[in-house]
């Protein structure tokens, strides 16, 4: 076990997936570098989730309503930051994406300690990240040949075990709950960068993941949102990328991103032969982005009525690292 100073805290947000949650908690418990404290935030007020958290000695927080991943993460971070020291770290977990190996937390913990010694402004480290092109308001995939040693990025993707220094979270803030779903990790990374912090992914581990997932040699033309993505997901994707461009690029770029994303979203739904009633959702996201409207404005539960509800829990999705420039 690493003897470096500071504790390692964990936050895991879950939504009505008791079996997956139990498996992920078990995988976390097998880590060579154990977390010193774990908070499970339950967006589904599920008694099974409460029992699973209690079984491993984790703190259970009932969100009392679906706060989305952004709100759940913010709630868990705020709870930990009230008791964490500046030198502590905080790592995020997905309830359906357990650590692939028993060494991943130890590897990232050691990587973070090394990066802090070489760059005192290190704010976060993780397995996989991406960069943000403020000129166009889009994320950029890091090329395979750059994946060697510490790789500077603008954010660490969800599901990629982002590990934050608590002092950076205290100064730059927690995740923005107003985004509700999607690109909350990007916004938070850009906020850390604006506050003067550096973010690094471990290039060696990243390359291993790409090879295992057969994602080497890809270019941006081959990275696409799945055609079967539900309309409500496309709403939040278009809206949040537009809102982020408003804040971190320019108003003109935000309009370009929102309208372009809305048009692409509609065409994707048409090609996927989704019901016509769903086509309006990406356009609504574009309008809300231009108007600066945030929060939970589309209820994922409505997907039951439009046929857009995915088989997996609505907020977890496929591995988040496979989207928006990651992987």
The tens digit of pLDDT for each residue in 195-236 reads: 999 999 999 999 999 999 999 888 654 445 555 578 999 999
Give burial (CB, 10 Å; 0-12/13-18/19+) of 317: buried
pLDDT at 220: 59
Q: How confident is the model at residue 320 (pLDDT cuts 50, 70, 90)?
A: very low
The span from the CA of 238 to the CA of 158, in Å, is 18
Mean pLDDT of 261-273: 92
The span from the CA of 136 to the CA of 288, in Å, is 19
The span from the CA of 192 to the CA of 179, in Å, is 17
Sign of CA dihedral 249, 251, 252, 254: positive
The answer to whether residues 72 and 78 touch, using CB atoms and an 8 Å cutoff, is: no
Mean pLDDT of 300-314: 42
- The encoded tokens of residue 198 equal 């550096």
Domain 8-212, architecture per CATH = Alpha-Beta Complex (3.90)
Q: How confident is the model at residue 317 (pLDDT cuts 50, 70, 90)?
A: very low
* Residues carrying CATH 3.90.550.60, the chain: 8-212
Q: How confident is the model at residue 309 (pLDDT cuts 50, 70, 90)?
A: very low
SS3 14: strand
Q: Which of 171, 150, 126 is nearest to 320 (CA)?
A: 126
The span from the CA of 166 to the CA of 18, in Å, is 29
pLDDT in tens, 143-188: 999 999 999 999 999 999 999 999 999 999 999 999 999 999 999 9
pLDDT at 300: 84
Biggest CA–CA distance in the chain, Å, is: 58
Q: In the predicted model, is pLDDT for residue 23 greater than 70?
A: yes
Q: Which of 304, 272, 269 is nearest to 284 (CA)?
A: 269
The answer to whether residues 187 and 176 touch, using CB atoms and an 8 Å cutoff, is: yes
Q: Which of 24, 72, 149, 28 is nearest to 315 (CA)?
A: 72
Global pTM reads 0.89
pLDDT in tens, 272-303: 888 988 999 999 999 999 999 999 999 886 54
Q: In the predicted model, is pLDDT for residue 9 greater than 60?
A: yes
Give percent of the chain with pLDDT exceeding 70.
87
Higher pLDDT among residues 16 and 325, named by residue = 16
Q: In the predicted model, is pLDDT for residue 242 greater than 90?
A: yes
SS3 264: helix
Q: Give the chain's radius of gyration (CA, Å).
A: 19
Strands (E) in the chain, as ranges, are 8-14, 37-42, 59-62, 89-94, 122-126, 129-133, 138-140, 150-153, 155-156, 163-165, 198-202
């Amino acid at each position: 076990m690493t003897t470096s100073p500071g504790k390692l805290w964990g936050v895991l947000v879950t939504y009505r997936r008791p079996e997956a949650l139990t498996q992920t908690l078990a995988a976390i418990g097998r880590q060579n570098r154990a977390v010193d404290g774990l908070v499970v935030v339950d967006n589904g007020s599920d008694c099974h989730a409460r029992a699973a958290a209690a079984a491993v000695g984790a703190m259970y927080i009932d969100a009392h309503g679906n706060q989305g991943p952004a709100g759940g993460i913010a709630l868990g971070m705020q709870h930990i930051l009230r008791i964490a020291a500046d030198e502590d770290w905080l790592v995020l977990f997905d309830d359906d994406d357990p650590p692939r190996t028993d060494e991943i937390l130890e590897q990232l913990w050691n990587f973070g300690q090394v990066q802090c010694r070489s760059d005192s402004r290190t704010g976060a480290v993780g397995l996989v990240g991406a960069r943000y092109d403020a000129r166009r308001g889009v994320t950029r995939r890091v090329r395979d040949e750059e994946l060697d040693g510490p790789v500077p990025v603008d954010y660490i993707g969800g599901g990629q075990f982002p590990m934050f220094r608590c002092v950076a979270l205290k100064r730059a803030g927690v995740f923005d709950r107003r985004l509700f779903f999607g690109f909350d990790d990007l916004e938070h990374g850009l906020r850390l960068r604006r506050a003067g912090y550096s973010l690094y992914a471990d290039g060696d581990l990243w390359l291993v993941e790409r090879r295992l997932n057969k994602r080497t040699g890809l270019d941006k033309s081959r990275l696409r949102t799945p055609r079967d993505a539900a309309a409500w997901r496309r709403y939040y994707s278009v809206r949040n990328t537009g809102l982020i461009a408003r804040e971190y690029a320019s108003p003109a770029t935000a309009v370009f991103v929102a309208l372009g994303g809305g048009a692409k979203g509609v065409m994707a739904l048409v090609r996927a032969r989704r019901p016509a009633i769903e086509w309006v959702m990406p356009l609504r996201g574009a309008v809300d982005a231009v108007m600066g409207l945030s929060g939970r404005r589309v209820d994922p539960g409505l997907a039951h009525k439009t046929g857009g509800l995915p088989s997996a829990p609505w907020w977890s999705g496929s591995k988040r690292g496979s989207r928006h420039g990651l992987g």
